[in-house]
Structure 1
Amino acid sequence: MYKIIEPEVVGSLGKETELDNSVFPSHVKKLHYEFDGWLGDDILEFFPFYIVTYSLREALENNKFTGITFQEITISKSETFLELYPDRELPEFYWLKISGEAFKDDFFITQENILAISEKAYFVLQKYNINNANIEDLEG
């Protein structure tokens, strides 16, 4: 059993993102995520990228889930974020890189470009803040 998850989008690519546009889809050498807001979720999206908090990264690594790797990213707060949440601190985030094979690994991207997760991975994610993500059963 798999589920699809569409995490909250709270920002955009920052100016320090390094893209190689000579290939499609673009290859990203360095990811910079700029926050416009944040409601506290531990997994976030900015298509086609996913980022997770350090605590969720640890849980995913400890459970040895397949189809994912992690990479450091740069995060920043936009002017909007600073106006809305002048005192809010952001935790450490990591790029959740998805490389799994459909219906084989714990994490993979569907043909519709949506993140799919195994039931086992969903069980772990439920222990974290995913309140603003849309989650449905994946038919397949």
Structure 2
Amino acid sequence: MNRPKLYVFDGFPVKGELGDNTRLEVREICEVCHRKDFIYHHLSYKFDEWDGEDVIKGVDFYLISEKLKKIFTEENIKGIGFQEIENEKSEFFKFSRNSYQKELPVFYK
């Protein structure tokens, strides 16, 4: 398999927003600072575009593509769990010129 080169990341692109089908619960876990914890019972991400990125930033999470998950698994990388998410496309969704396939890959939180 042709493995992508990985570098130190300064930031990750945001390619959309929480999808319409997301079901989440918000709990306040600190009465003093009012910090909240988000529990995703079902995570859907609505893409505005996709340019072939294998790592995407969500609200308080990161998404990785099936391609990158496979590499992590083959390389026996520890300390990471994967939860498949539902892909949605916004009304104006488009594939950009650098996308390596013409359908959205499966993504994992």
TM-score, with normalisation over the residues of structure 2? 0.72
Matched, 1:31 2:36: no
Pairwise CA distance, 1:5: 4.3
Code of the residue aligned with 1:80 in structure 2: it is F
- The runs of 5 or more residues in structure 1 that have no matched partner are 96-140
Q: 1:31 to 1:43 in 2, by over 3 A?
A: same
Code of the residue aligned with 2:53 in structure 1: it is D
Q: What is the total number of aligned residue pairs between the two structures?
A: 90
Matched, 1:44 2:59: no
Separation of aligned partners in 2, 1:32 and 1:93: 10
Partner residue in 1 for 2:81: 69
Pick from 38, 49, 60: which aligns with 2:72?
Answer: 60
Partner residue in 1 for 2:23: 18
Percentage of matched positions with identical amino acids = 35
TM-score, with normalisation over the residues of structure 1? 0.57
Superposition RMSD in Å: 1.9
- The runs of 5 or more residues in structure 2 that have no matched partner are 1-7, 29-35, 96-101
Q: Which runs of 4+ in 1 moved over 3 A?
A: none
Higher-helix-fraction structure: 1
SS at 1:79 equivalent: strand
Separation of aligned partners in 2, 1:5 and 1:32: 25
Give the conservation status (yes or no) of the 8 Å contact 2:85–2:106.
Answer: no
Pairwise CA distance, 1:4: 4.7
Mean Cα displacement is larger for which, 21-30 or 37-46?
Answer: 21-30
Q: 1:4 to 1:89 in 2, by over 3 A?
A: closer
Pairwise CA distance, 1:58: 0.6
